[in-house]
Structure 1
């Protein structure tokens, strides 16, 4: 009996482990092969990003009613599980389940200042659930069609990021243009096509945005500035073209684009993308309700390649320009995993200005850049290597008298690539107040935050 049990355990272990390096690193996959060649398979992954953060709060910040000049919080920025696989030569499925931005105040509604009970145990949900069919393949060229709940969209690389391979502490969230407004944490119900034709990678999609009223927050009252509309909703159209000058990128999972390959590939891309939606926003002018189309576009270049293939040193860089037209006067504050719940010094015309929030989204334009350098493998012996980085977001939004700049500097300790890494990051952001023009904000100092992240990704 013991021998039989041992045999069962051994065969089960072999079936699921089947250690097979992925295309982009040397970690072992949690993978079950459905055929002898391994071309048909089911794979599971897990990623957890724990944050330990000290934040200088915006003026007037309160935490559950108590004034707080600064805060220290512990949270889970992302906790995700994926299950996906190639069932036949043509059929692929992908699902992702998890939660985001979970800290001690994450279940405290932004509009609740009376202490009404809420539920902290409702954070996890399906991020993605889709099926895909490959209609053609020849070498590295392919054309696929799919549909379901997906992050596939058109604006840019960082509008659909592979979060386990981020180089900086976090992605530039402004590029996830409608996040938690008319989507589900950047995911929408959509039909799409994606493919690789020679040097060109394409993705096009038609999405059915969620009503703003289902976002979990009280929608803002219609006023002189554009906000997502509650009437006359239309479908959203997305398209992204990427020209691969050197290597093509990993195209396994729909939508998701790698942050950095850590020198495992030689990648240099030029990209252009667009998102458009009719009557996406509305505003009030005198007694009239006016609707505006949302037109977002970007052009960018991405570089990620080894400098020395013998030592493993590498460089990664990105530069992009974004045109962001949400409608006249659109401006939205957002704070990543905000450690606060309210403010005693509200700013007229905008909401959610507490904690670590800043005007992240707006009608105007944005320039975003990032760069990092990976030192040689084994710089720290058996404890891995280091990769310092820096990023800058500069925005020129209609309602900001002064341009907005947010910069981050930090270093990754790559204990085992992206599988196990720690990141220490400093972010510096602007603070605003109402100006003499009641509908315009002016700069009023800056605040910073130190964050230590520990990532486990299998």
Structure 2
């Protein structure tokens, strides 16, 4: 074993023993592993993993790894495994946050998936915590609350995909490199950033009145602000919970944006290349309210107005191991999820009253509805998610069962699209999550 491996091993062992020596196991589960450097500085370590077992219907024309047409399949996948370290020095006057791990290992992935950094940033505190200014690879972005959703503290099985408007294009798993400010002032929670998006060149597929990503070095500007009508929220990392499970009364109204100038391009009638600004805006409302009978109602709704240039639309499929298909939409669970147009999304969750709970822990039925109307498709789509969470120990140990639908379009997308919905497909997922 190399000396660096010894060092990392001893660090983790030391952190574990230091935390367990100071707190009981239940406290460690909810707070993570914390090591006190001195009376003003600490290190907080977290680990999370999500495992899926799923049955999936697939799009018509889907072909498996042997090239044979299939209509459905079953698999077991590693959705996420993450490690994070939050370092606070001098009573949070200076902080460093690092997160690394892997996403989406399926049977068609390579046997040794890539582990990479999701976040590496540092920030300084000013004005008694009202302002933090920092830089690095970060997720302090804009558009909406669900655009900064915590993977571990989501009430739905997973994020919907369109909440990260740059996902898989000019970001690194939803993050970009840049400078940011964030904080709380007079009931407002804010975050703004100036970022250097990663270069994406899709000019090989440029077409008349159909925009694609164009290589550029232009700075992107992002922001998200919400006002708290009830309890105030403060965040150490950029990721926000979609429920406090009864620990807070929250009612927020928010708005955000993501602007990247001259980052898209299309051809005009003279076959000349013209550039377009990417302009994304969103408004949202979030309610998380506990009642005296220990039930909790969670509601979230957002309207997203995306402009990527004329007729831009693209597909998305979470951990899609069978991407090959005979039709334009693609194989597996690919569905049109992001593009120029309007998206309305809402979710609801309800933790049952304590007297209704059949076992220890808590049951939480959940539902979500997605409505998407894209310029590059001939017909708007409506999809839904329906499920139930069993919270064994809050967000730290839970089991999720969820069915998610999507629409299959026959035809081609883009300018003068003839794509219309011909069928609906779905996926049933059982997830086990552990978060320390």
TM-score by length of 2: 0.91
Q: Tell me, which stretches of 5 or more residues in structure 2 are unaligned?
A: 1-12
Q: 1:82 to 1:20 in 2, by over 3 A?
A: farther
1:27-426 aligned at under 5 Å gives the runs 27-36=30-39, 39-64=40-65, 65-89=67-91, 90-106=93-109, 119-137=110-128, 142-213=130-201, 221-224=205-208, 225-230=210-215, 232-253=216-237, 255-285=238-268, 286-308=270-292, 311-343=293-325, 345-347=326-328, 353-377=330-354, 380=357, 383-426=360-403
Cα drift, residue 248 of structure 1 = 1.1
Contact 2:245 2:394 in 1 (8 A): yes
In the alignment, structure 1 residue 450 sits paired with structure 2 residue 428: yes
Match among 361, 382, 407 for residue 430 of structure 1: 407
Q: Are 1:132 and 1:145, in contact at CA under 8 Å, matched by a contact in 2?
A: yes
User: CA RMSD of the aligned region, Å?
Assistant: 2.3
Q: Please, which runs of 5 or more residues in structure 1 have no aligned partner? A: 1-9, 107-118
Q: Deviation string for 1:56-87 (max 9, x for gaps)?
A: 10010112222211011111111111011212
3-state SS of paired residue (1:27) = helix
**1:19 corresponds to 2:23:** yes
Residues paired across the two proteins, number: 418
Match of 2:5 in 1: none
> Could you say if the C-alpha distance between residues 12 and 233 of structure 1 is closer, same or farther in structure 2, counting changes exceeding 3 Å?
closer
- Superposition deviation, residue 170 in structure 1: 0.9
Q: How far apart, CA to CA, are the structure 1 residues paired with 2:75 and 2:186?
A: 48
Counterpart Cα distance in 2 of 1:430 and 1:306: 35
Q: How far does the alpha carbon of each residue in 1:235-264 deviate from its partner, in whole angstroms, 9 at most, with x for none?
A: 1000111101111113121x2111211111
- The CA deviation at 1:123 is 2.0
Deviation at residue 40 of structure 1 after TM alignment: 2.2
How far the C-alpha of 1:392 sits from its partner, in A, is: 0.6
Per-residue Cα deviation, 1:200-221 (whole angstroms, up to 9, x for no partner): 01111001000115xxxx8752
CA distance in structure 2 between the partners assigned to 1:144 and 1:28 by the alignment: 23
Q: Which residue of 2 aligns with 1:4?
A: none
Q: Is the 8 A contact 1:96 1:126 kept in 2?
A: yes
Kept in 2, the 8 Å contact 1:334–1:353? The answer is: no
**Runs of 4+ in structure 1 over 4 Å off:** 10-14, 20-23, 377-382, 435-438
Displacement of 1:29? 2.3
Q: Does the residue aligned with 2:30 lie in a helix, a strand or coil? A: coil
